[in-house]
C-alpha cells in the first residue's frame, strides 16, 4: 500500500477520489478490462488509492499480513477512520498486498439473499495484470468471451471462483490492481473453458 512512511492522501481529494471511484465502477461494469487509476502520491500505490476512494469511518476493512503495520494502520485511521477487522468475514473490503495470500473466498462475507451487497469486496495487488495463466471470462458486461491472464492468483482460484459464482446473487467481488490499473471481476462473471 505504502512504500515507506505514513504519507499524504490525494493531491486533489475530491477530483482524485471521484476518478478512482469511476475507474472502479468501469472495471466492474467491464469485467477483465483494465482501467487507469489515479495515484494519491508518489509513495501510494493502487491499494491506497482505492482505500481512500471507497472507505470511510462507517467501513470495515481487513488487511493482509504484509499490510498489518503501524504505518498502514495509522494511514487508514488518519485518512479514513475505517475499522480494521481481524476476520475478512466481518469486512466490507479486504486489501491484499503484493505477495500476500488472497483470503479464501468462501471465508469472506458472502452477503445474504436479502442483502447481497453487504459482501466483502477484495482488492488484491498482483505483480501484473498480464503474463499469468489464461482465463476466459463470460457474463454481463462481456460480449461473447474475454481473455485475461493476471499473474499471481492462487492455484485453486478457478475452483474458488466457480464456488463463488454458484452463490449468486451472493458472493464476493474482486478488484485486481497492478501497474497503475484496476481490473474488475464481479461475482456475476464466469470463468469458462477456453
Q: What is the CATH number of the domain that holds 141?
A: 3.40.50.11310
Residue 4 confidence (pLDDT) above 50 = no
Going by pLDDT thresholds of 50, 70 and 90, the confidence category of residue 6 is very low
Give the count of domains, the chain.
1
Range of the domain at 73: 13-185
Average pLDDT, rounded, for the chain: 92
194 is a domain residue:
no
6 is a domain residue:
no
Which region among 7-11, 24-28, 38-42, 178-182 has the lowest average model confidence (pLDDT)? 38-42
Closest CA to 62 of 130, 119, 115, 12: 119
180 is a domain residue:
yes
1 is a domain residue:
no
Residue 144, pLDDT score:
95
Interval 74-83: pLDDT, tens? 889 998 999 9
Amino acid at each position: 500500500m505504502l512504500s515507506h512512511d505514513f504519507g499524504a492522501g490525494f493531491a486533489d481529494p475530491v477530483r482524485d477520489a471521484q476518478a478512482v471511484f469511476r475507474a472502479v465502477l468501469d472495471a466492474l461494469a467491464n469485467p477483465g478490462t483494465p482501467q487507469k487509476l489515479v495515484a494519491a502520491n508518489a509513495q501510494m500505490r493502487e491499494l491506497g488509492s482505492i482505500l481512500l476512494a471507497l472507505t470511510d469511518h462507517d467501513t470495515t476493512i481487513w488487511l493482509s499480513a504484509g499490510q498489518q503495520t503501524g504505518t498502514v494502520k495509522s494511514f487508514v485511521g488518519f485518512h479514513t477512520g475505517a475499522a480494521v477487522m481481524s476476520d475478512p468475514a466481518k469486512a466490507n473490503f479486504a486489501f491484499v498486498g503484493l505477495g500476500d495470500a488472497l483470503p479464501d473466498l468462501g471465508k469472506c462475507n458472502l452477503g445474504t439473499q436479502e442483502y447481497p451487497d453487504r459482501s466483502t469486496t477484495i482488492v488484491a495487488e498482483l505483480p501484473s495484470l498480464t503474463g499469468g495463466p489464461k482465463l476466459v471470462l463470460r457474463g454481463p458486461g462481456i460480449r461473447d468471451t474475454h481473455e485475461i491472464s493476471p499473474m499471481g492468483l492462487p492455484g485453486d482460484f478457478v475452483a474458488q471462483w466457480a464456488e463463488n459464482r454458484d452463490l449468486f446473487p451472493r458472493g464476493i467481488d474482486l478488484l485486481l490492481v497492478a501497474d497503475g490499473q484496476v481490473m474488475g471481476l464481479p461475482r456475476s462473471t464466469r470463468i469458462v473453458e477456453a
